[in-house]
A and B are shown apart, each in its own frame.
Chain A
């Protein structure tokens, strides 16, 4: 169950999308998210959907990986859709008991759902096709200029990549500790809020201790391998733009233009 979260899980295969520079993928993801908020008609969403479908196809990642990632936001999705569906004023379509669905509400809810689904799928395409190290490298490079105003860009990106590496390990550990405490009669499900919060102590204490122990070990292992911050460091995979990255930027610009023309201005 805990393993179903796809965010931050790299899917290993070889595709055009995998080979793209992470800066391109980051920029594209940001543009894509912006585009989802620009468009507000059906054609716009069709364009966004086609673009996403094309990218997923090119990435060679089985779509079920992205669908699996959706499960984790299902709850959020239902709430967002529900609010829009029932609370938007306008022309009533259906009404029962105290609830009524309006035409505008239906429209808004549908768009909201599409937006959320595309947004999550779009960002999971990025994380599924880019190794987190690569991703943080891209971020480090994109944010590079901030170093001048003393933002510790290298340290932040190193922290992120370590966090990403340890998330699956800690999730597994959570599962294990939970089972061990259930075997000792712990109850994580029943009871009121206070009782539930209290029941988390036997889970969280061991988890924190384990996380600290791991952090300590890792720091030692990094030091032993001569890690001393970003200075003097070379890169095994330095970021270099290739022709394909230029093409990708071009495609993204075209896509944005299409979105603005058809999704905003024309209709």
Chain B
């Protein structure tokens, strides 16, 4: 039983972009990101990193994986070391770096995810869910990737934990200028962070545009089991009720301004 999990994917990801990759379970989004660091090889077609075909015979896959860091769903399930710090050292150590450089990188990565020093020598299994996830993300960051891909980084966290992780990722991107791909099934979560949204459905790219452009298709999105942020629906309904508001809105703040203006005018 063979079927195409991905079909006709043509994407260019420029350096430094912040991308939201959206799709429901089984849409192919996780399969797609595993192609980006060479964990999966395409049945047909090519994947290029910085212009080089990653499936060329002499292409260094190991180096690619350090450049394109992939954080899996529930990444805390991959923790195994005796303490947090050694776990984060695992990645750089695999790259063959010396002890000093490894530890420097691990330290920097743990700082980047905002974990306090007090936790460094604790067993990763004694931490809370949100902290474990930070450690796991640090484990990938310690390889100093140029592109960071996170597969559902907020799954299973509570609302505050979710916001904290997303804020941390946004800050990280600002500081380092890293390219970030955020895989999610929630438009609402990513809308306020990303520059570009790629919507996947049945292994194909359905939309690929700026968030406000994508949300204009809220009806089509609904048909494939995704929803635009609630605020999009509110603005559409207000417009229909005769209030002259801007329907291309993606965040609460914008909505507030637009409604206040409409009521004034």
Contacts and interface: CB of A to CB of B under 8 A. Distances in A.
Instruction: Decide whether A and B are members of one complex.
Output: yes
Interface of A: 173, 176-177, 179-187, 201-202, 205-206, 209-210
Contact of B79 (A179, A185, A186, A206): A206
A184 B139 CA distance: 7
Contacts, number: 55
Contacts of A183: 37, 39, 65, 69-72, 140
Interface bin, chain B = 20 to 34
B23 interface: no
B80 A201 contact: yes
Contacts of B94: 184-187
Given A183-B69, A183-B72, A184-B143, A177 B91 contact: no
Interface in B34-55: 34, 37, 39
Interface string B46-87: 000000000000000010011001111001011110000000
Contact of A176 (B66, B72, B90): B72
Interface of B: 34, 37, 39, 62, 65-66, 69-72, 75, 77-80, 90-91, 94-95, 125, 139-140, 143
12 contacts: A180-B78, A182-B65, A183-B71, A184-B65, A184-B91, A185-B66, A187-B94, A202-B78, A206-B78, A206-B80, A209-B77, A209-B125
Contacts of A209: 77, 125
A181 B78 CA distance: 7
A177 B65 CA distance: 15
B78 A177 contact: yes
A183 B147 CA distance: 13
Given A179-B34, A185-B65, 16 more contacts: A177-B78, A180-B72, A180-B75, A183-B71, A183-B72, A183-B140, A184-B65, A184-B90, A184-B139, A184-B140, A185-B62, A185-B90, A185-B94, A187-B94, A206-B80, A209-B125
B66 to A, nearest CB: 6
Nearest to A187: B94
A188 B53 CA distance: 24
A202 B86 CA distance: 12
A32 to B, nearest CB: 29
A182 to B, nearest CB: 6
B6 to A, nearest CB: 17
A66 to B, nearest CB: 16
A179 B77 CA distance: 12
A187 B139 CA distance: 16
A182 B39 contact: yes
A182 B40 CA distance: 11
A173 B139 CA distance: 19
Nearest to B139: A184
Given A183-B70, A183-B140, A185-B143, A202 B77 contact: no
Contact of B95 (A176, A177, A182, A185): A185
Taking each of A173, A185, A187, A201, which has the highest tally of chain B beta carbons within 10 Å of its own beta carbon? A185
Contacts of B139: 184
Contacts of B77: 173, 176-177, 180, 206, 209-210
